[in-house]
Structure 1
Amino acid sequence: MERMNESKKDYLFRVRNKDKADATVVAFVFSPHIVKDRRFYSPCKTIYLKYKEYCLENALKPLSSWQFKKNMQLLGFIYKKSHRFYAGYHRDRVTTAFKNIAFKVADCKI
């Protein structure tokens, strides 16, 4: 049993620079429908649209997509560019994604 616990990997992603990033982005990242895990990739466009939706629901002013990207990078999320990521079998291909972030399955609308 001890061996199983030792071999278990820690996939939890730890957010950095919370005090330097915009408060709306920090609140979004720590909202209950977000999962921070080092195994996940999520399309940048999807993350930004969910962020804007979150801001509207909470009467916050969303940042521009460029400012949002910079804040996500400041928090330690990796912006992957020029790679092919797929959002599902019949979804369009995505050329940019954030690493270490995803949505909880129950919150995804397909």
Structure 2
Amino acid sequence: MSRQVAVIPLVRCEVCQGQGVIKGIFHVMDCAGCNGAGLIDRATNQALSLEQMVQQLRVRLNRANRQVEQQREQLERAGLVPVTGPAADYQGNNKKGAGGAHFTGD
């Protein structure tokens, strides 16, 4: 079952400056201008319902994840993906073992 969700242009809420909350003297409360989302409809300058906001953010997250995956694939094809994190310790020879052999400390 496929259902298309129309993308609504969103802008930052000016009441809370996109934070979603308003800080009082003794408390912090959700912004009434954007229902705590930090974003409003560009055309109407009104807050979206929570259901609409979830749909809009899901569409944007899915789009961003697809773009990240496409960029990762392009970098891999070009051979430019650097190995980072724990896997970097196992790449190449660190010459820390006996006679300059690879030693990881495992």
TM-score by length of 2: 0.19
User: Comparing both chains, which one has the higher relative contact order based on Cα–Cα distances under 8 Å and sequence gaps of 6 or more?
Assistant: 1
Higher gyration radius (CA): 2
